[in-house]
Structures are given as structure tokens and as C-alpha cells.
Structure 1
Amino acid sequence: MKAVKDDLKDLPQTQLDTRAAKAKPVKMGWSTEEVERITAALNDLLANYSVHYQKLRNYHWNVKGPDFFDLHEQFELQYTESLQHIDDIAERIRIFSKTPVSTLQEYLEMSEIKETASNLSSELMVRELITDYTVLLNYMFTVVEVASEQHDAGTEEMVKKFINTIEKHHWMLSAFLAK
């Protein structure tokens, strides 16, 4: 039994006793350039998603006509979901110790998606959102491509889930317009 105790005396008692744990924390394995590529793509998506989110709220508040009840409810569901995606994207950027774009001015300057008026017909609102979803999908595909090239499975997996959702919204709104 004494030999076993002697063998254990040199083992660290906690993770903090190891040299690696005492060393300065190291980034997760990506180079500065790789982190820049990933976070730049995420910030582009974040800016576009943020303008899209505000459009959904605008349309939710201002939709009128015979489609009011259906669209009012759908717009709320979609902006609630968008808000969660926006938060996930921003937090993913923070994981890389970078700062997500976060002001309305930054969003509007960076975004390909543009604001619209509040007095659009319900049909024009839906057409605008279909266009937004096409733009968002293109930015999402770019993020997935960049993440894959950098071997960033976390970002890739997160955005692929967003893609499934956005494709479904695109289909449903397109079906809504079909007559």
C-alpha cells in the first residue's frame, strides 16, 4: 500500500496543479486570420439579420387587410425566432473574443437588406421577406463555407440549423403568394 501512496504523491490533485492549467489561456486553435474570416462572415450575417428582424417587427405592427390575422401571427413567430438567431450569432462572435456589430448605424451600413416603409400592402411585405430570406441564405451559405474551411464545426452546425428554418419560411411565404 505504501508503494501506491508514493506513486500518487507526484500526481496533481486538481486541474489547477497542472502546468497547462497554470499557463495563460490559449485560443481555441484558430489563427488570427482564421478568426477574422469567421467573425467577419458572422458579422455580415448579423447585420443583415438585424435589419430583417426590424422589418418583421414593422410588418407585424403594420399589416392590414384580409390577411391580417395570418400574417400578424406569422411575422411575430418569425421575428421571435430571428431574435434568437441574432443572439446566437453575436454570442458565437464573442466566443472568438471579437465584438459583434451592435448599433443600428452599423447594421444599416453593412446590410444588403434594406429598410422599407410601414405602409406596404401585405403582398409587398411578403415579397420583401422572401427577398430577405434569399439574401440571408446567401450570407448563411458563405458563413458555412468559411467555417468549413477553418474547421469550425460549431459555427457550421449552428448556421446549418438556421438554413433549414429560413428555407422553410421562404417556401411557406412563397406558397402564401401562390394563387
Structure 2
Amino acid sequence: MAKAKPVKLGWSSEEVENITHALNDLLVNYSVHYQKLRNYHWNVKGSDFFDLHIEFEQQYKEAQDHIDDIAERIRVFSKTPVSTMGEYLEQSEIKETTSQLSSEIMVRELIADYTILLGYMFAVIEIASAQHDAGTEEMVKVFIHQIEKHHWMLSAFLAK
């Protein structure tokens, strides 16, 4: 038994390519978003400092976990996740910003990021569902729930 080849998961090479390509698209965008959250956590100023400093930290820790889950899911398919900052910045629709932003602009940037991330998440779910990939679909649906909540909360924050 130990000499037997590993069991194939059941997807064709094309299906694996479709799933992992969509996951890598999500990964590169999530990675740039994660760094923006850390940047904003470190550099937020003003009367919103305490609230946003804590909120940004919670969100970047969550993003870090999601990024790890996405990369490990890509590895499940024996593919390589995009892994360098250069690749992230080159391939991501989400763009980095400076550190010298008002707290309101930081929040607006994050809300825009969430809209982009949700688009990539919905694309992953569509592909995963078509390939009968329940593991990927279930993982990303959890992410969607959390991102939608962050979008709502930060939008409410701006409605002062």
C-alpha cells in the first residue's frame, strides 16, 4: 500500500487549472489588501485612531488566515500559489496606497477593496461549483460572509 501512487482528487488537468487560477487571482488581491490593512493599522491617526487601529488589526489577522487557507487549498491541487510581493503587485487589481492618508480615505480604500475581493470570491465559487469542488466553495463562502460584514461595518462607520 505504501508504494501505491497518491489518489487523484478527481478533477481533470483543465479543471484543476481553472480552480487554481481563480484561487491565485483571489490570493494576489487578498495579499495586497492584507498589506494595506497592516499599513493602515500602523499609520492611522486622529480621533478615530483607537477604533480603527484595533479594527484594522483584527481584519489583517483574519486576512492572514484566509490567505494561508487559499494558498494551502492551491497546494491541495499540487499547484504552486503565487508567493512573491512582486507577483502580487503586478497581478493584483487592488493597488497599494501611501501611508499618509486620512482615516476616512483609508476606510474608503478598504471598502473598495472589499468590492473587488467579493468579485473574485464569487468567481471562485462559480468555478468551484461547476467543478463540484465543495471544499473550495465552502471555504470561500465563509470568507464572503466575513468580508460582507466588514464592508457593512466600515460603510456604517463612514455614515457618521
TM over 0.5: yes
Write out aligned runs for 1:57-96 (5 A). 57-96=38-77
Alpha-carbon distance between aligned partners in 2 of 1:91 and 1:126, rounded to the nearest angstrom: 29
1 or 2 for the larger relative contact order (CA 8 Å, sep ≥6)?
2
Superimposed CA distance per residue, residues 35-80 of structure 1 (whole angstroms, 9 cap, x where no aligned partner): 0000000000000000000000000000000000000000000000
TM-score normalized by the length of structure 1: 0.88
Residue number among 11, 28, 45 corresponding to 1:47 in the alignment? 28
Alpha-carbon distance between aligned partners in 2 of 1:63 and 1:141, rounded to the nearest angstrom: 31
1:103 maps to 84
Q: Alpha-carbon deviation of 1:23? A: 3.4
Write out aligned runs for 1:15-164 (5 A). 16=1, 22-164=3-145
Q: Which runs of 5+ in 1 are unaligned?
A: 1-15
1:9 maps to none
Q: Alpha-carbon deviation of 1:22? A: 4.9
Structure 1 runs (4+) greater than 3 angstroms displaced: none
Q: How high is the sequence identity, in percent, across the aligned residues?
A: 81
Which residue identity is paired with 2:157? Answer: F
Q: Which runs of 5+ in 2 are unaligned?
A: none
The count of corresponding residues between Structure 1 and Structure 2 is: 160
Q: Kindly report the root-mean-square deviation, in angstroms, between the aligned alpha carbons of the 2 structures.
A: 0.9
User: Which structure is larger by alpha-carbon Rg, 1 or 2?
Assistant: 1
Alpha-carbon distance between aligned partners in 2 of 1:130 and 1:109, rounded to the nearest angstrom: 21
Superimposed CA distance per residue, residues 73-111 of structure 1 (whole angstroms, 9 cap, x where no aligned partner): 000000000000000000000000000000001101110
Alpha-carbon distance between aligned partners in 2 of 1:37 and 1:110, rounded to the nearest angstrom: 17
Q: Alpha-carbon deviation of 1:26? A: 3.0
Which residue identity is paired with 2:22? Answer: A
Q: Alpha-carbon deviation of 1:27? A: 1.5
Superimposed CA distance per residue, residues 93-134 of structure 1 (whole angstroms, 9 cap, x where no aligned partner): 000000000000110111000000100000000000000000
Alpha-carbon distance between aligned partners in 2 of 1:81 and 1:108, rounded to the nearest angstrom: 20
